[in-house]
Amino acid sequence: MGVIATVATVVLAISFMVFVTFFGRLPALRGTPISWLHKVIWVHFPNLLKSIDRRVTGGRISPACVRFGNYMMYDRHPSVLIFFLLLLSIGEILYLPTAWPQLTPLVKLTGTVSIILPYLFLYLAAFTDPGYITPANHPQEMSRYPYDFTLFHPGNECHTCHLLKPARSKHCSVCKRCIAKNDHHCIFINNCVGANNQHWFILLLLSTAVLTAYGGILGVYLMAKRMNFFFPYWALLPWNANKGEGMPLKDWLVIWSWGFQNQVGMGAVTLLAGLTSPLVWGLLGYHAWLVYCGTTTNESMKWSDWSYEMREGFAYKRKMHGQRQKDLKVEPAWTRWPAETEQVLVRTESGQCPAEDDQTLPGYGPWEAVWGLKDVENLYDIGFWDNLVDVLVPGYNFRDEPSGKRQKGGLRQRKKRRARRIYLA
């Protein structure tokens, strides 16, 4: 059992490191042991190594390590994408020769589909334009979403692209471009996840989650079937062995060890799939939650910052005219979105309420102190099903253009909807 235990430990350690790396900075995990471990691994430990390097070599090694780390994590290169492809393909090469002859035609068909789909969606997510904003398509991108005067304000220019920033866009320092509805830059696809490829990215997560679960469960079934053939008294659960009388855990693990070593290729991949599947499902669940909340990874970070300001008493809101006169120099006259902002949110340095008659701030009426995200609305959350349509059908028109001509997708036109409360507390 020593080899199996070692492999399981290594896979679990790598999976945990990946989980901490990608989830440790999420707003929902701030103040948790995961967030603390992220700081230890990616902040305190590197600082300790730099300190040792300064004392031992005068700081000659750490700059090269930092450059390499920045290149791997923050530069655009296909290394992780290639690693992901190799992980998929080598795993299938080790798994299929043993498993394939034992499968029924139906399982072969469903297995083939589950194997092909991750490659297809990986290609589409990696090579689809995520929503690059250029001078040519800038007017169209400006009409994708209205400004909410909370996270996104009109009139802000990207200092790199020298274009007005459309609502929900963000400049990616890796891609060196502004991205429409920028969720995050994903090193596994060597591309940003944006308005035009977010659906392919979510389908990649879904197909990969299904593949790992399918492979893990099927592998356990085939191995259990073989172990039962050679050891009739064995059962998948130790307390069901010996016809319900149970068997010692040590003996049960020894038979499992024999099963892994008897079909080592399939056994190793089954173990890998079983241990990594929860990580993939967790990532899929997180992005499904973002769709439900009508937000993105980038925006969830912004909402987290607002939550801090609210708790400290520095955030205030007041109403915004629904039919206000827009400044067409910095705002689009029309957007495809079915709702307009009905609030203005501001932060103050002193915590004092802004003056009601301050003409430099948009909106009208008295200012109200905001103490939590439950007291504000997210303009971009129009209900789960419409949020899902917005993800799956990029550029879908939720309302007709002013000309009155019904656009493609106009049959789903909605009445004006109020944005929903924030669920990202």
Give the torsion sign (CA, 260, 265, 271, 274): negative
To the query of whether residue 161 is one of the catalytic residues in this protein, the response is no
Q: Please choose, from the candidates 376, 388, 390, 389, the residue with its C-alpha nearest in 3D space to the C-alpha of residue 419.
A: 376
Could you tell me the two tokens for 269? 């991949």
Helix 105-127 crosses helix 198-230 at what angle (to 10 degrees)? Answer: 150
Distance CA 245, CA 119 (A): 46
CA distances from residue 143 to 128, 393, 396 in whole angstroms, order as listed: 21, 16, 11
Identify whether the C-beta of residue 249 lies closer than 8 Å to the C-beta of residue 174.
Answer: no
Q: Which of 172, 178, 186, 293 is catalytic?
A: 186
Catalytic sites, residue numbers? 186
